[in-house]
Homo-oligomer: A and B are copies of this chain.
């Protein structure tokens, strides 16, 4: 049972996390202060360290929350309902393409780009978490690909690095120049490319 007090604490925590995620994405991790987070979230400055210890603790919690949002979007593990694996080649590809496209909505993409630089710092506390997120995405993609009739010269693990990479890189091009790059069209073309390769195997 959740007491009133616990509920309020949980709500404050969520408000702080949402505000911090927006601020990290908009102005970067280093440029964001507890005062900024307090102002945006409407939660008093002093209670932020009470919830998260340090700014580093807040960063980890923001990343944890984003990973949770990604996991929720990816939905059920692919390959769990194997009722008709032969039929579902194209369908599986469509579902996977939709999941990859959905991952890259503006706020999350921007946040991940900003934090990537922090993750690349030597000794960064979020590097491990970041590696894990990329790994989760690749594994999810790989399991979807393994259900498709792809030839052996297109191994699922290498292909999943390409697909997740294209998702990341296409959205970075789009963030910089929204008028020049259409991410839906680009990722739709990647899907067509995979379908064409599946057709080429004649299976």
Contacts and interface: CB of A to CB of B under 8 A. Distances in A.
A140 B199 CA distance: 28
A41 interface: no
Q: How many copies of the chain does the oligomer comprise?
A: 2
A196 B149 CA distance: 13
Chain A interface residue number, banded: 35 or more
A131 interface: yes
Given A134-B176, A176-B119, A186 B161 contact: yes
Contacts of A154: 189, 192-193, 196
A127 B176 CA distance: 7
Contact of A117 (B113, B153, B158, B190): B113
13 contacts: A116-B117, A116-B176, A120-B175, A131-B176, A154-B196, A158-B182, A158-B189, A161-B173, A162-B189, A165-B170, A165-B171, A196-B196, A199-B200
